Chain A
Amino acid sequence: MSKQVIGAGIRGANVVVDRVEGKINAAIEKYGKDQAVALPNTAYYLPVIYGITGEKVETLGDMLPIMEKCRQLLADVPVDNCWTPYLGPGLDSGMAALFAFDMEEALKYLGDDCPYLASKEDPEETDADIWLGAADDIILRKRGVEFVDGSAPGFAVIVGAASNPEAAAKIAKELQEKSIYVFMASNNEKGTSFAKQLVEAGVQIGWNTRLVPFGFDHPSAIHGVGFAVRAALTFGGKTPGDHVGVLKYIKDRIFAFIIALGPVCDEQYAAACGAINFGVPTIADTDFPQVLPTGVCTYEHVVTNIPESEIVTKAIEVRGLKITISKIDIPMPYGPAFEGERIKKDAMHVELGGPKSFGFEFAYSKPLDQVEDGKFTVIGPNIKDVEEGGLLPIGIWIELAGRKFQEDFEPILERQCHHLLNGAEGILHIGQRDIVWMRISKKAVAAGFTFEHFGTILHAKMHNEFGAIVDKVQVTIITDADEVNKRMEICRKTWTERDNRLSDMNDETTETFYSCSLCQSFAPTHVCVVTPERPGLCGAYNWLDCRASYEINEHGPNQPIAKGDVMDERLGKWKGVDEFVIPASGNAFESFAAYSILVDPMTSCGCFEAIAACLFAANGIMVVDRDYSGETPCGMGFSTLAGSVGGGLQTPGFVGISKFYIGSKKFISAEGGIKRLCWLPKALKEASKDMIDARGAEVGIPNLYDMIATEENGTDEETIMAFLTEAGHPCLEMEQLMEMM
């Protein structure tokens, strides 16, 4: 597989080290061992050597021990018929080649015929040549800051040359558009270089356009590595010689990759092997064996045979580079201020979907190579084809791909459409799934809005807000009625599958629960422990949401909890949960029972959708929700109850819950679950009918729904007792709640 590449690398490294040794000896002969050598204006000596080994090369004499080191690192060229492990020796030999290059470049600054324009940001027309050589520390600091703050997402080292100047210009532009720095070095077998091709195509080069011509020959590519190493020392605070730290910083933070255009020679293979040490992969347009197994680099190491036109996209994918889009390119303003905007009938140009038509929005994921990032297509009439006041069906079909994307994130991103599209002035968005309803204002249309802009917005915002999980976003907008109908079927089928997915999960077979501490801002000791069968009590966060939120932001309010050993199955107590809850509640609580209202119930913050409370006389449980303002059988209305239960307290006998939890198998299951439910506000009861019927049937009481009292049957325990007795409610026969405390 990749033996050929590594073999060539080792061969190349041997050639490089031999050559540089010769050059060092010649220089020593000419200038003496004490002759100072340095790259211009830097405190980092020969940066690659200094960063990795901690050795300061200040004179020609200092190069000799480094040469020794190179010799130690160099492996023998593998023989064809001998199968020894090769990746390790390949990487070591590559590193030797990089050290040698570092010294070879420094030698160029000796004497009068230095090929580089010293300490310049951009070559000018009056200059003899275009090559800039090593960046000095001033440039390093100024540009390096951009790598830290993310305005430069990474850099590409381009070696060789494109097939022609126009192709080179196109590649450069594509990288520039993504704010990626392009470091150019070396030339191809015809003596053509990428940098010269750009000049020929009339492209402005230099640090200021982020197209940096380092040098004409292969060794000059080392300045890219030197830049990265110095960034690790300057911004990463790494100590010179801490090679693990330096390598890791570059791998995790600098996001560099090599694009090799045209045939690759042994010396370049050697450099590629060296680069792998830094997590820097090589992507080539020629065909040679790949080095795919991941391990050192984030993903693949060497990927080959990628057509010139696709090489940038592929390189970004292989390096795992995250792109952010600073400006959403639409003709109207965008921001949270427009989210609440209403568009009245007379201000509206066109209405999409909604009650008078139909439509959907749908997001799903595909393999990386099947999604074209930033491609927006419209099927059916576009905005110019509709009269003012028109009506169209709408389908928003979003295809997503990402290295870290999981199917479970699909609904979460789909739900974002509402919030993301509403942010644009002139777009009103209501609903989700197959009840979407949108209006586009006349003003937006006058400004130049077209349906493709839905894609522009979704693409930009999904990259920016969900970059951790999304790498590619492609959007198709459908206004053709037949096509909308056709795809609607696929959507509906998928939605049903999705709905079943969470309901198929259970707490027993799930090892990781999630915490939510969002509400600690006002209830400092409150923590929600969210399990597949017990959503957060606000109803806004189920287990999948928490997991996705953690994947997107690992420092956010949702943290994974390894549930650990079961301590009490009935109550829902796990070792890992308790261990988590103690520090997370600021030592306020020692134990949480997920399924109990009486023993260590979970804390209630303030944003519970409903409150469950014990009715001891009835031996049952009532639930009252936020929308009900009347009295309840426990003697308190919702707001009084909320006042005494909330604030991050554990209050045995009361617990804040989400409405959805009523339908869970784990609904207060420690005390008997749904069979205890004896009173609900009428509106909540009606809204929960399906859940109650389903659960009632499961526990063998199919007519449970009819046995549950509402305010119409009474708002004090005595009155409802009469009702429950007459209805034959099961709670009356159950174990006394009082005795379960």
Chain B
Amino acid sequence: MAFSAQTEKYSGKMGTLTLGSGDQAITVGGQAAMPFAAFDGELPNKPIVAMEVYDVVSPDWPAAVVEPFKDVINDPIAWAKKNVEEYGAKAICLQLISTDPNGDDKDAAYAADLVAKMLDAISVPLVVWGSGNVEKDAEVLAKICEVNEGKNLLVGPAVEENYKKIAAAALGYGHAVVSQSPIDVNMAKQMNILISNLGLPMDKIIMEPSTAALGYGVEYSYSVMERISLAALAQNDEKMQCPMINDIGKECWKAREVMLTDKEEPGFGPDQEKRGILWEAITAMDMAIAGSNLLIMRNPKAVKLVEECIDELMA
């Protein structure tokens, strides 16, 4: 008898999310099978990498991290352009750091204006990531939504304490939202419910179940994401059928193994750049295999590695 491979049939399907507008729009999600398991079901959209741009860069960034962007490091617009034109970024993620009240405390109008300028300068979809200060992010992201009406940005992270303001602004002005939860399946679901109850449709929500870097708890992120995928596919749990995004660059490039030079830690070896690239690429692949649809990454070489890997797995 001929060998016939066992396949898994799922009753559910992940929803999709479209980033950006017009002909530059990209759609992610929509998979009817576990990641890369094309033999089990349709995988209509491959995971996409959004390349990071920071509005300000901390002076602690090691030279190896700065290297690929050293000519544009103080100009986020130029940096974004370079990512697109030179490194082939399919999407950009603007990381807002300077709005943090414990740092430069730049105001919402500044951020909204920066986003408007960036939208003018690039031709790929834009993700805007807040500083992580719950109150300030609500104010800043809401303003960004208002000023950039109809551009279908993806803004976040919206968390339990600030989702109302962010999601309402996204709803009012035509954007999508990152719904972030603290490594917990039920919380992830509850956030989706809370946000969609405000009126934002599920196809305007993407989940960030909290990203941990390799060696810093990546296995927790992995298992939560796998369980979300299973709930969405096997149990057809509608409130879990939002695609997923991971904020990877930021987590990886602060790892000790990446930040320390070989003088500080001889065992790590001299090639600090290579260490960082691998650290980021491996973390990103872990997330892709766990079910991520949108990977936020920093280093162009790591991005290339991951994109090649994804293409190969999707082929």
Contacts and interface: CB of A to CB of B under 8 A. Distances in A.
Contact of A145 (B172, B193, B197, B230): B172
Given A142-B146, A149-B169, A237 B199 contact: yes
Interface in A512-563: 517-518, 520-521, 524, 555-557
Interface in B169-187: 169, 171-173, 183-187
Contact of A518 (B169, B186, B198): B186
Given A148-B199, A149-B198, A555-B193, A235 B185 contact: no
Nearest to A237: B199
A251 to B, nearest CB: 15
B199 A235 contact: yes
Contact of A520 (B167, B168, B186, B193): B186
Given A144-B172, A149-B198, A521 B186 contact: yes
A586 B187 contact: no
A145 B149 CA distance: 13
B212 to A, nearest CB: 15
Given A141-B172, A235-B171, A524 B194 contact: no
Nearest to B183: A521
Nearest to B184: A521
Contacts of A150: 164, 168
A334 to B, nearest CB: 14
A126 interface: no
Given A148-B171, A149-B165, A521-B186, A237 B230 contact: no
A145 B168 CA distance: 5
Contacts of A235: 168, 171-172, 199
A557 B168 contact: no
Interface in A233-278: 234-237, 253
B172 A234 contact: yes
Contacts of A145: 142, 146, 168-169, 171-173
A151 interface: yes
Given A148-B198, A234-B172, A521-B185, A587 B235 contact: yes
Nearest to B172: A145
B182 to A, nearest CB: 9
A556 B193 CA distance: 10
A635 interface: no
Contacts of A586: 230-231, 235
Interface in A208-237: 234-237
A141 B194 contact: no
B190 interface: yes
A32 interface: no
A500 B193 CA distance: 37
Contacts of A521: 183-187
A583 interface: yes
Nearest to A145: B172
A145 B142 CA distance: 9
A607 B167 CA distance: 35
Nearest to A553: B190
Contacts of B230: 586
Given A142-B146, A520-B185, A587-B235, A555 B190 contact: yes
A556 B190 contact: yes
Interface string A126-145: 00000000000000011011
Contacts of A520: 185-186
Given A235-B199, A586-B235, A148 B186 contact: no
Contact of A148 (B149, B168, B193): B168
Given A149-B164, A151-B165, A235-B172, A557 B186 contact: yes
A253 B183 CA distance: 31
A517 B185 CA distance: 11
Contacts of A151: 165
Contacts of B169: 145, 149
Interface in A408-425: none
A230 to B, nearest CB: 12
Q: In which size bucket is the chain B interface?
A: 20 to 34
Nearest to B182: A521
Interface string B192-210: 0110011101000000000
A555 B160 CA distance: 13
B254 interface: no
Nearest to A557: B186
A557 B227 CA distance: 17
A583 B231 CA distance: 10
Q: B165, B167, B193 — which one has the most chain A CB atoms within 10 A of its CB?
A: B165
A151 B187 CA distance: 24
A586 B149 CA distance: 41
B185 A149 contact: no
Interface in A101-150: 141-142, 144-146, 148-150
Q: B193, B198, B199 — which one has the most chain A CB atoms within 10 A of its CB?
A: B199
B291 to A, nearest CB: 15
Interface string B8-26: 0000000000000000000
Contacts of B172: 141-142, 144-145, 148, 234-235
A556 B231 CA distance: 17
Contacts of B199: 148, 235-237, 253
Interface string A554-592: 011100000000000000000000000001001100000
A472 to B, nearest CB: 24
Contacts of A555: 190, 193-194, 197
A517 B186 contact: yes
Q: A149, A521, A557, A587 — which one has the most chain B CB atoms within 10 A of its CB?
A: A149
Contacts of B234: 587
Given A144-B172, A145-B172, A524 B165 contact: no
Q: B168, B172, B230 — which one has the most chain A CB atoms within 10 A of its CB?
A: B172
A148 B167 CA distance: 9
A141 B173 contact: yes
Contacts of A517: 186
A359 to B, nearest CB: 33
A254 B171 CA distance: 16
Contact of B201 (A142, A149, A237): A237
A306 B120 CA distance: 57
B196 to A, nearest CB: 10
A587 B11 CA distance: 14
Contact of A149 (B167, B187, B197, B231): B167
Nearest to A141: B172
A237 B204 CA distance: 13
B9 to A, nearest CB: 14
Interface string B124-150: 000000000000000000100010010
Q: B168, B194, B198 — which one has the most chain A CB atoms within 10 A of its CB?
A: B168
A551 B186 CA distance: 18
A524 B193 contact: no
Nearest to A583: B235
Contacts of B193: 555
B176 to A, nearest CB: 14
B228 to A, nearest CB: 11
A151 B231 CA distance: 34
Contacts of A141: 146, 149, 172-173
B65 to A, nearest CB: 33
Interface in A487-524: 517-518, 520-521, 524
Interface in B251-292: none
Contacts of B198: 148-149
A253 B197 CA distance: 10
A151 B139 CA distance: 12
Contacts of A518: 186
Given A145-B168, A520-B185, 14 more contacts: A141-B146, A141-B173, A142-B146, A148-B199, A149-B168, A150-B164, A235-B172, A237-B199, A237-B201, A521-B187, A524-B185, A586-B230, A586-B231, A587-B235
10 contacts: A145-B168, A145-B172, A148-B164, A149-B164, A235-B199, A236-B199, A253-B199, A524-B227, A555-B194, A586-B230
List of 6 A-B pairs having minimum Cβ-Cβ separation, nearest first: A149-B168, A148-B168, A149-B164, A145-B172, A521-B184, A149-B165
